[in-house]
Chains A and B, each alone.
Chain A
Amino acid sequence: DVKVTQSSRYLVKRTGEKVFLECVQDMDHENMFWYRQDPGLGLRLIYFSYDVKMKEKGDIPEGYSVSREKKERFSLILESASTNQTSMYLCASSLGLAGLTDTQYFGPGTRLTVL
């Protein structure tokens, strides 16, 4: 079974703090994703990575950065947390074979509250 783990289930930070969210997958997947999920807004893609050290901006990258130094690990960084970044953060991974279906598997989520 694919396993995607996230470093924390719940996190409380203060405005202005630097926040690191980590995601690890154990299936040698090429692609990894960071989403946020908010009531009424659904899933929104923040960043996507298709290989080590490679990244692409999603729909809402402002205020976030990412790091992928190893294939299995994808980190989301909030450089200076703000209250509007209070949300559920979801990491996902997928195999990434061109031309085939690309099922995304999600981690359990991190509920971040910024005070």
Chain B
Amino acid sequence: DAKTTQPTSMDCAEGRAANLPCNHSTISGNEYVYWYRQIHSQGPQYIIHGLKNNETNEMASLIITEDRKSSTLILPHATLRDTAVYYCIVRPANQAGTALIFGKGTTLSVSS
């Protein structure tokens, strides 16, 4: 799987948009970008994934650059409950049954 690079930590004011970047310059054509988050002492939570088009769901938006070498997860109106570690993962489509590998992720701190 391609390697990802994320900032160690970010801060965001409550109500503002949180933009979390991820670099995946060695991504292959069949690899998807996934985002998960983990709130302290809870299980990881799936947020969103995409291949090359931008994606949006009820939790977040995912913006993938045209060359697919980087992406940004956007939480449009961050709340205190969005404080968590956010993981960007790159993964081929046909890897059902294999382990997810989380890097160090970005610790997002949302404050009032």
The chain A residues found within 8 Å of chain B, CB to CB, are 4, 31, 33, 35, 42-45, 48, 50, 56, 58-59, 88, 90, 92, 94, 96-109, 111
Residues of chain A contacted by B99 (CB below 8 angstroms): 33, 35, 43-45, 48, 58-59
Contact residues of B with A, CB < 8 Å? 32, 34, 41-46, 49, 91, 93-103
Q: Is the pair A96, B43 in contact by a Cβ cutoff of 8 Å? A: no
B interface secondary structure, majority? loop
Q: Can you spell out 8 A-B residue pairs with CB atoms less than 8 angstroms apart?
A: A35-B99, A42-B101, A42-B102, A45-B98, A59-B99, A92-B100, A103-B46, A105-B46
Chain A nearest Cβ from B55, distance in angstroms: 12
Q: Are B96 and A109 interface neighbours, CB within 8 A?
A: no
CB pair B44–A31 under 8 Å, yes or no, is no
A43 near B100 with CB under 8 A, answer yes
Partner of B49, one of A4, A43, A90, A103: A103
Checking B44, B93, B101 against A106 with a beta-carbon cut-off of 8 angstroms, the contacting residue is B44
A-side interface mostly: strand
